[in-house]
Amino acid sequence: MSKTSAVDTIGILTSGGDASGMNAAIRAVARTAWDRGVKVKGIKRGYSGLLNREIFDMDRTFTGDIISRGGTVLFTARCEEFKQEEYQKKAADICREEGIDGLVVIGGDGSFRGAQKLAAQGINTVALPGTIDLDIPCTEYTIGFDTAVNVAMEAIDKIRDTSTSHERCSIVEVMGRNAGYIALWCGIAAGAEDIIIPERFDGNRPKLEAKLIDSILEKKALGKKHHLIINAEGIGHSYGMAKRIEQGTGVETRATILGYMQRGGSPTAKDRVYASYMGALAVDLLCAGATNRVVGYRNGQYIDYDIEDALGMQKDVDEYEFQIAQVLGR
Ligand code: ADP
Ligand code: F6P
């Protein structure tokens, strides 16, 4: 063990939905730990793998050739039973038996709750925000968001070609669970005419569709040859919407749901670099004796928060960004 480190062995797990850049984070955690004289254990399949002792000594070969790969080489899983204290205690005992005295959890806010519970059981734990949805309030960046937005943007560019050629309207549904960040970003990046997000939806679907119909007719009159609508998963109903919009406008309308392609693919440079920085920082926090922390990125800086505080924070889409998206779509 390094003389200066508060931990001897760091375990790493990925939990919840996979996100591109998780491998860069795993690599950074392992290599920084080794540099600091700390041993590393990989835990497969999230909390479920921890409970099943799917734990192995990580060596340098494991972290080779992974920075450019999407997904997570540690696999990921959801584990309902981990929400019960009995299993959290069991997991902490397993960590102690395996000599794991520091843990890095890479996942979304559900995974953070698990990390918090393990910290309460005496395992020093630091969490990293890994989700394509960007729906974690304490941070302006989450691992995988940038790649997902770029994948969606490229797909929408392709859909635009056929939409223009056939002078159609296209509704493209993107992921994000209850958050509209992916929709807003890929919508602006791909020059969409309309972007619909849960954060700015009052629940009145007929009103929303009437507004879209007006928008299509207005832009057609201005000479537009296509009309791209980006619809967030949290709004959904893209196929039904397409039918009703076609009936209301007389413009042929097609819906495409992009789905899991947004979770995969080689991570962008941004996801690789930010994930690398966050992975290294997690290790240095653990080596300094920190626990129950989550790493975020805010106002141009990497920063760490108490997990409880982080889970209590709130955030919203930038109103100016939402407004200009509409101006630029005209
Ligand atoms: P994400 O981490 O992407 O938000 P989930 O919400 O599915 O994904 O959470 C991932 C896993 O984290 C869950 O399957 C469970 O094992 C663990 N988890 C979620 N909520 C809690 C909780 N309240 N207490 C303990 N563990 C939790
Ligand atoms: O959280 C990432 C995400 O891809 C969401 O955008 C989506 O709602 C959800 O996961 C899908 O989850 P699953 O992999 O369980 O289908």
- DSSP letters, 230-241, are EEETTT--HHHH
- Do the annotations mark residue 160 as ligand-binding? yes
Report the C-alpha gap between 295 and 97 in whole angstroms.
27
Ligand 2, atom 12: closest residue by C-alpha: 17
In a domain, 326, yes or no: no
Among the three residues 263, 278, 303, which one is the final residue of a domain in this structure? 263
Residue 330 domain flag: no
Give residue-wise pLDDT tens across range 25-75: 999 999 999 999 999 999 999 999 999 999 999 999 999 999 999 999 999
pLDDT of residue 4: 85
Does 258 lie in the same domain as 271?
no
Cα 26 to Cα 69, 103, 114, distances in angstroms? 12, 12, 18
327 backbone φψ class: left, alpha, beta (φ>0; ψ -120 to 50): alpha
Pair 191, 232 in one domain: yes
**What three-state secondary structure class fits 106?**
strand
pLDDT tens-digit series, residues 303-328 = 999 999 999 999 999 999 999 999 99
Judge whether 316 lies within some domain.
no
Indicate the SS3 state at residue 135. coil
**307 located within any domain:** yes
pLDDT score, position 3: 61
Q: Is the pTM of this model over 0.85?
A: yes
* Structural domain for 187, as ranges: 149-263
What is 255-319 written as a DSSP string? EEE-GGGGG-SPPPHHHHHHHHHHHHHHHHHHHTT--SEEEEEETTEEEEEEHHHHHT------H
Q: Are residues 232 and 288 in the same domain?
A: no
Residues 40 and 24 in one domain: yes
Cβ atoms of 196 and 208 closer than 8 Å: yes
- Residues annotated as catalytic are 133
Domain-located, residue 82: yes
- Pocket residue to mutate for ligand 2, from 143, 233, 263, most atoms within 8 A of Cβ: 263
Together in a domain, 242 and 212: yes
Task: Say how many C-beta atoms besides its own lie within 10 A of residue 242's C-beta.
Answer: 21
What tokens appear for 109 in the block? 């806010």
Pair 139, 154 in one domain = no
**Average predicted confidence (pLDDT) for the chain:** 97
Q: In angstroms, rounded to a whole number, what is the distance separating the alpha carbons of residues 129 and 144?
A: 9
Residues 107 and 204 in one domain: no
Is 260 annotated to bind a ligand? Reply is: yes
CATH number at residue 283: 3.40.50.450
Q: How many domains does the chain have?
A: 2
Decide if 160 contacts 193 (C-beta within 8 A). Answer: no
Give the atom of ligand 1 at the shortest distance from the alpha carbon of 81: 16
φ and ψ at 137, to 5 degrees? Answer: -60, -30
Please tell me whether residues 108 and 208 are part of one structural domain.
no
Last residue of a domain, one of 263, 279, 301: 263
**Ligand 1 pocket list (CB less than 6 A):** 15-17, 47, 78-79, 82-83, 107-111, 113-114, 117, 131
Task: Assess if residue 325 is contained within a domain.
Answer: no
- Ligand 2 atom with minimal separation from the 135 CA: 1
Q: Which residues of the chain have pLDDT under 70?
A: 1-3
- 13 and 87 fall within a common domain: yes
CB atoms within 10 A of CB 221: 8
